[in-house]
Amino acid sequence: MTQKPIRGVVAAIATPVDAAGTPDTGRAVKLARFLLDNGCDGLNVLGTTGEATSFSREERMAVMTAYRDASLPMERLMVGTGTAAISDTIALTRHAAQLGFGGALVLPPFYYKGVPDDGLVGYVDELIAATTQPAIPLYLYHFPAQSGLPWHPALVRRLLDKHAGRIVGLKDSSGDMAYARAIAALSPDFAVFPSTEACLIEARGGAFAGCISATANLNPDLCARAWRDGDQTALADAVTIRKLFDGKLLVSGVKALLAHIHADPALARTKTPLPAFPAADRAAVVAGYDAVRAKKVA
């Protein structure tokens, strides 16, 4: 593997869909270019914000291929390839490697709960054995509130000892910063990305590799100023925008605000089963976002 490590501000990019619920690859590529041109160091494609588990394997592959065909900087993109079925995870991870993605982000096989560590190690063993030509860096995706299966520290340590060089990092969507710090302490070379931009100053000091955030879709410029310059005011504004979604539907909300920012109502569409963002919530979020941006201009 020769890919340069992914670091910094990584947006968990939303996946636009058309009226039929099919991925809208044209809008997806346009949004990706905007984010990369306006502060993002990288993108996490087809994660939770990207509604990956709501798409078929073929749809996910089509989105992945569209990014490559658009000549985006693939080494700056990691892509979610984890599924409940090992054969699908292998197929998606192989496709990611062939397209030149900078990494594959792997959920645990999330349907069966209470799977013992030996089962999860076996899953990773099988994935790694089947994806060696070409190999692709693997990032573990820790989101126990959704998956029901944690990549807990002892398990991560076991995987690192067994697969040094292939497993290179972890995205932590648990919201537990003590967990994130414990995982980062396992190895100085292990790239840990909390899921909030609130960590960026701490990350800049070396604690983490950066952040992978849903709301970086909405504030990439502010996140970039925090990460690159240590700008505390920019970080505070970015966190204010993130907090607009407290207690609200995050994925639907991010898409609704993207539609406002880019003056494109189609960006608000979600894939079944996620509902549209409620109108009252949209009004509140748009007003809050515009207030932050007006303050910045002033």
141 is catalytic: yes
Closest among 69, 8, 38 to 226, alpha carbons compared: 8
Q: What are phi and psi of 241, to 5 degrees?
A: -65, -40
Cα–Cα distance, 258 to 264 (Å, whole number):
8
Cα–Cα distance, 121 to 139 (Å, whole number):
14
Q: Which of 171, 179, 255, 289 is catalytic?
A: 171
Cα–Cα distance, 108 to 142 (Å, whole number):
8
Q: Which of 139, 141, 179, 289 is catalytic?
A: 141
Token pair 């994935």 is found at 127
171 is catalytic: yes
Cα–Cα distance, 21 to 11 (Å, whole number):
22
Q: Which residues, listed in sequence order, are joined to residue 9 by a DSSP beta bridge?
A: 211
- Contact 258/31 with Cβ under 8 angstroms? yes
Contact partners, residue 137, CB within 8 Å, separation at least 6: 1, 3, 5, 102, 103, 104, 166, 168, 169
* Active-site annotation, residues: 141, 171
